[in-house]
Amino acid sequence: MMQLKKVNLCGVNTHKLPFLSAARIKELFNKKAEGDQDVRQELINGNLRLVLSILQRFKNRGENLDDLFQVGCIGLIKAVDNFSLEHNVNFSTYAVPMVIGEIRRYLRDNNALRVSRSLKVLAQKAQQIREKLTGKLLREPTIGEIAQELGVTPEEVVFAYQTLNEPISLHEPVFQDASDPVYVLDLVSDKKCSAELWVEDLTLRQALTTLTKRERKILEDRFFDGRTQMEIAAEIGISQAQVSRIEKAALRQVRRCLQGQGGKENAEA
C-alpha cells in the first residue's frame, strides 16, 4: 500500500482518509443495487485515496492540486454512480480511467493553448467516422478515407487529430527509479541550439570583431538581413562593385580567423 504523506487537500487530511477492502466495496455496491443510497457517500469517501494516487501523475504540471483533487473527485462520483458489479471488474479498474479522463478534460479545457471549438468538433467527428469505417472495412481507415467521409481535406483531419494530443510539461518525468528521475527536457534535442553550433556562433562573432565598421555592416546586411549588394551600395553611397570587393575581402578575413590564421588585409582599397 502506498504511504501517504500528511497533506491537506481541499481541507481534507489525506493521511486520515478511510480505506475500503475489495470485499467491503463489493458489499456496498450490492446494497446500492438493492436501493440503499446511504452507502453512496461511504463508497466515495472510501475511494478518495484512489483519486490521490492518480494525482501523482499530474503533480509536475504546475496546476493547483486542490483543483485537480476536486476534479478527480467528480470523476470518482461518476464512477460510483455508474458502476455495477455486472461489469465483472474491480471498481478501481473501472474508476481509474474515469478519474483520469475527468482530470484530462479539465486540463485541456483550461490549458493556455486554446483550441477552437470547430477543431474540437471536427476531431470528435473524425473519431466517430474512424470507428464507423473500421467496422465497415474491417481495417484501419486511412486519413484520406476519413477526410472524404467528412468532406474536408486530409490536412484538416490531421490538424484536428493533433488537438486530441494533450500537451505535457518539459518537466514531466518519463522514468524514475531509486536514482534521479529522467524528465522530458532531458530527452529533447535541439539541432538549432546544440553546443557545437553555439561554439561556432561564438567564434564567428569573435571573427566579426576583427573587421572594420563598414565591412561588418556589409556582412551583417548581406547575410543576417538578406539585403542585396545594390541595396547596400545605395544606402552607404558607393558602387555595387565596391560592395562586392569589400564583401569578398571581409569574408576572406573571417575565414582566416575561423581557421586560426589571424591577419588582416585592406579591403577598402
Cell digits of residue 264: 588582416
Burial 65-103 (b: 16+ CB within 10 A, else e): beebbebbbbbbbebbeebeeeeeeebeeebbebbeebb
Length of the chain equals 269
CATH of domain 8-109: 1.20.120.1810
Residue 256: pLDDT band (50, 70, 90) is confident
User: CA 205, CA 207: separation in Å to the nearest integer?
Assistant: 5
Closest alpha carbon to 115 in 68, 60, 167: 167
Fold classification of 117-166 (topology level):
Arc Repressor Mutant, subunit A (1.10.10)
Element (H, E) at 146: helix 143-150
3 state DSSP class of 175: strand
145-187 pLDDT tens trace: 999 999 999 888 888 887 776 666 666 666 655 556 666 666 5
Q: How sure is the predictor about 240, in pLDDT bands with cuts at 50, 70 and 90?
A: confident
- pTM score above 0.75: no
In this predicted structure, what is the pLDDT of residue 6?
46
Give the span between the Cα atoms of 126 and 150, in whole angstroms.
Answer: 7
**67-93: average pLDDT:** 89
Domain boundaries, the chain: 8-109, 117-166, 192-258
Q: Is the pLDDT of residue 77 over 70?
A: yes
pLDDT of 214 above 60: yes
pLDDT of 266: 43
Fold of 192-258: Arc Repressor Mutant, subunit A (1.10.10)
What is the rounded average pLDDT for all residues in the chain?
A: 79
**Grid cell digits, residue 84:** 455495477
Same fold, 117-166 and 192-258: yes
Predicted pLDDT of residue 20: 86
Chain-centroid distance of CA 175 in Å reads: 17
CA-based nearest residue to 166, from 51, 65, 73, 58: 58
- Structure confidence at residue 73 (pLDDT): 92
